[in-house]
Amino acid sequence: MIFGLEPHVFFAFLSWPVTYIVIAIIMYFVMAKHDKEEEAWEKAYDEWQASLKDGKVEEGGEVQ
Amino acid sequence: MIGGGVTEYVVLLVYLIGMIGIGVYWAKHSKTSEDYLLGGRRIGSVLTALTLQTTSMSGYMFMGGPAQTYREGYFTLWYAVGDGGGAIFNVGILGKRMRRLSYFLGCLSPIEYIEKRYPGKATRAIAAVIAICFVYGYVLAQFLSAGKTMCALLGVPLPIAIIIGAGVIVFYTFAGGYLAVAWTDFIQGIVMVCSMVMIFVLAWNQVGGLTGLNEQLTALDPTLTGMWGKGNMYQGQWGVVAGAVGVYLIGYMGLPHVVIRHMAMESPKLAKQTVVIATVWNQLFIFVPYIMGLMGILLLPNIDDPEMVVLSLAYQLLPGVLAAIVLVAIMSAIMSTADAQLMLMGTMLGRDIYQRYINKDASDKQLMNVSRICILAVGIISVIIALIQPPGVFQIVVFSFSTLGSSFLPSYVGAVWWKRGNTTGCVASMICGCIISIIWEAAGLAGPTGMHTFFIGVIVSIAAYIIGSLIGKPPTKEMQDLVERAACKTKIPAGLATVNYKDIAPETNGVLTFLKESSYMEERGFQPV
């Protein structure tokens, strides 16, 4: 018994609050990593758009 | 009537005046329609998390939820299991991408967002009709709940209770717009969770902690602590379990008054904090009331109305003023849902109907004023209908959640996750989701089939979205590019890498220049970067 409940009942109902908080914390770090990647992407994108206006890079060219 | 003393009246009065004060304060800060309708897209992570969750949670968490566990035992916690993870799905799946795409498309309302992402004459008309009808049903339900709660708890006559409760909600929403709604939600969220935790801690001691609670419940009736409800009434009904979990785990992604919160975030980067704050708040506010229903079985075995179990526990365990604050918390839960829906009604009527069909050249000021007038008009009409309570009104409101969720969920999720998702798929999913929900509810098929209305509605709606999108004309190249850009997946030409390297590392630039200028690469058959 876990806290007076059958183990399967405990895990079915009461393990979730801790599980969700752990998932949310993991998500925080995963999203933080994505934020950094996206920040670099956004910077590159803005520069690309600016360079298109300047005529430095041709649209539809080779992609990385 | 449980309360009704001077203390309750004073505490409630202070609370209602405070809410009005917030409305008046933010009225002065809403200069543009974007300020009024979306808080100027400058809502921080804490505010976003709390407004997201308080909007999602209505008075049901204080009354309906605990009453269900009081009657059925642990089985009802399946709803909490879904609800507890709702924020993870909602913010994790939609948050960042929807914020970006709505900004790129220049949308101020969730219906405008649908129309611009899925261009077509039918899109906005169908989306607006479904949203306005069922969000309105929701508003009406919350006004009735506010009135009935005040009536039951304080003994105020129902008509006066409805006018006071709804009047305050209408006033601060009308005056302060989205910012007033977000800040009142923030305060209401804190009041709600503090009240709930306060009673829970005291009740916890009374029953001897979690082990004491479960052992006493098992001694009373072993099925109360079993998987399938009191008397094993839901034995083996996995369809009901899937519906109960799924409804709240993913359902919020289909509710326009909830997803508009993503559009108002200050930055997509706030989504990560929002997930954590909203999830922690959820665990405190969602699991606790359901468990309190179980505690009520032991502490209040002969209660007449199980819906009053939380409030009765508060009056049994807390001193007068604190018990009165719990009463305010119940009103907060109702008001925080009602104000968001009322705000959305004003946004949709102003932006999606007035500016779209009546006055296309409406100025910013005109749009803001029209939205305000619409909020006031919807509020007044709702109060009148709530006072009359025509037959059938409850039938409309009970399935508002399922119908909205089924109609919009695939379109909101597909908008940012599947660039192939198109107008045909969107229109098909809205129509099929809405019709199936109405038929399923009207025919009373949920009971005999063991399939929740939302569950069947959303399955049909997703299928319609996918099939429609595959059959219909793909979105334009520009739209597909925007979806990719919202996901930060657009491929950037390789030539630009050189530009980036220049900024990042001068040394790298030096090497690249050397390689380009020398014949080293060409001699070995390499293409220049």
Domain ranges of chain B: 6-397, 497-529
Chain A residues 35-64 within an 8 A CB cutoff of chain B: 35, 37-38, 41-45, 47-48, 51, 56-59, 61-64
Q: Give the span between the Cα atoms of B395 and A21, in whole angstroms.
A: 36
For chain B, say whether A26 makes contact (Cβ under 8 Å).
no
**Cβ contact B177:B345 at 8 Å:** no
Q: Assign 3-class secondary structure to B407-466.
A: HHHHHHHHHHHCCCCCHHHHHHHHHHHHHHHHHHHHCCCHHHHCCCHHHHHHHHHHHHHH
pTM, 2 dp: 0.81
- Return the number of other C-beta atoms located less than 10 Å from residue B99's C-beta: 25
CB pair distance less than 8 Å for B282 and A20: yes
- The predicted structure's pLDDT at residue B451: 79
Task: pLDDT tens for chain B, 529 residues: list them.
Answer: 666 678 888 888 898 899 999 988 988 888 888 888 888 888 888 888 888 888 877 777 778 888 889 999 999 999 899 989 999 999 999 999 999 999 999 888 888 899 999 998 889 889 988 988 888 887 887 888 788 778 877 788 888 888 888 888 899 888 888 889 889 988 888 888 888 888 999 999 999 999 999 999 999 999 999 988 888 888 887 877 887 888 888 888 988 888 888 888 888 888 999 999 999 988 988 899 999 999 999 999 988 888 888 888 888 888 878 888 888 888 888 888 888 888 888 888 888 888 888 888 888 888 888 988 999 999 898 888 888 876 555 555 567 878 888 999 999 999 999 999 999 999 999 999 999 998 988 888 877 887 778 888 999 999 999 999 999 999 999 999 999 999 888 777 765 544 444 444 555 556 666 666 666 666 655 554 4
Give pLDDT tens digits along chain A (64 positions): 888 899 999 999 999 999 999 999 999 999 999 988 888 888 888 888 887 766 655 555 444 4
pLDDT at B522 (0 to 100): 62
Interface test with B, best of A14, A19, A20, A35 (most B CBs within 10 A): A20
Least CA distance to A48: which residue of chain B?
A: B496
Domain extents in chain A? 24-53
Cross-chain Cβ contact B226/A32 below 8 Å: no
Contacts of residue B10, Cβ cutoff 8 Å, sequence gap at least 6: B324
| CB-neighbour burial class of residue B367 (10 A; exposed 0-12, middle 13-18, buried 19+) | buried
For residue B59, the one-letter residue type is: G
> What letters, b where the CB count within 10 A reaches 16 and e where it falls short, cover A4-41?
bbbeebbebbbebbeebbebbeebbeebeebbeebeeb
A49 burial level (CB within 10 Å; 0-12, 13-18, 19+): middle
Residue ranges with strand state E in B207-246 = none
Q: What is the pLDDT of residue B473?
A: 93
Residues of A in contact with B101 (CB under 8 A): none
Provide the pLDDT for residue B501: 42
Q: How far is A60 from chain B (nearest CA, A)?
A: 7
For residue B484, list chain A residues with Cβ-Cβ distance below 8 A: none
Residues B436, B456: contact at Cβ < 8 Å? yes
Check if the interface score ipTM surpasses 0.90.
Answer: no
Taking a C-beta distance cutoff of 8 angstroms, is the pair B162, B385 a contact? no
Collect all residues of chain B within an 8 Å Cβ-Cβ radius of residue A9: 74, 225-227
The interface residues of chain B toward chain A in range 255-314, judged by CB-CB distance below 8 A, are 268-269, 271-273, 275-276, 279-280, 282-283, 287
Could you give the 3-state DSSP secondary structure of residue B493? Answer: strand
Residue of B77, B214, B500 to mutate, interface with A, max A Cβ within 10 Å: B214
Q: CB count, 10 Å around CB of B212?
A: 16
CATH code linked to domain B6-397: 1.20.1730.10
Q: Do B495 and A5 touch (CB under 8 A)?
A: no
Distance of CA B15 to the CA centre of its chain: 23
| Residue matched to tokens 């390789």 | B494
